[in-house]
Structure 1
Amino acid sequence: MEPRIELAVLDSIVPTTLVDMTRLVVKRTPLYNQYQQLRQSYQAAVFSKLENDVLQRHSKLQMNDWSKRSQVFEKVNSIAPMVQSLLEEVRRIPTRLRESYIKQWKRSLVKRALALIKYIEDETLAILGQVKLKNLSLA
């Protein structure tokens, strides 16, 4: 994988999954806590390079060197069923429709995630409300 892609991914504040449609490979960044540590390490290297550039007007450290030392993506051994079905469906549709299909799939994924978050929030509030009612009745 080209270091430029790996470094561009580290600009994101959230972990990323990369689906390579030509090689049919799925890779992802580490989960949130480990990703934040990796991202902070990258940002420290960028800051150090900028600092050296300002002080010395040149720097021997290239950001590609940092990416060679730190692995950004890890190969995924098992693919989530939703991603597997996406790969299968995208292979079947014409090339000119793939980008819009993937955008639509991403929108539906975000909607599902928001629905799940809303459900969990409602359930949590219901549980907390029941606990408060029990505490009031015991008092």
Structure 2
Amino acid sequence: MENMKAAEPAFSVTSCTARRVLEIVSNKWPVLIIFVLEKGAKPYGQLQRSIADISPKMLTQTLRQLERDGLVERGVLPEVPPVAEYALTPLGASLIPYLRHLNHWMNEHYPQIEQARKDYDAKERFREDKSTRTV
């Protein structure tokens, strides 16, 4: 019995904790920011250039939320004018292996997802065509 691992708590779809963490990892902007910061601290402008299509407003909002969540820390470089620099905290860095695992799963299974979508859309078109013909 001593060698047995403690059972992991069951996943609860109603858990506030689960919902908040899923908000972080299911949104593309936090995940992309975390992956960019994996390589080291970046000034705000470099972060913005590294992430295509993110608006300054969305980047600022996402960085603030990641900072609030303890995943990113903000520093100020001693330049004139001062430049904000962002880096992962140890907590943020600890999320990377899990995001990589999810990324691996997505890359491995995305063709199946695409095929399922095509099959579903074809069935829906057939249903729509069939229902308009019988009216």
Relative to the length of structure 2, the TM-score reads: 0.32
Relative to the length of structure 1, the TM-score reads: 0.31
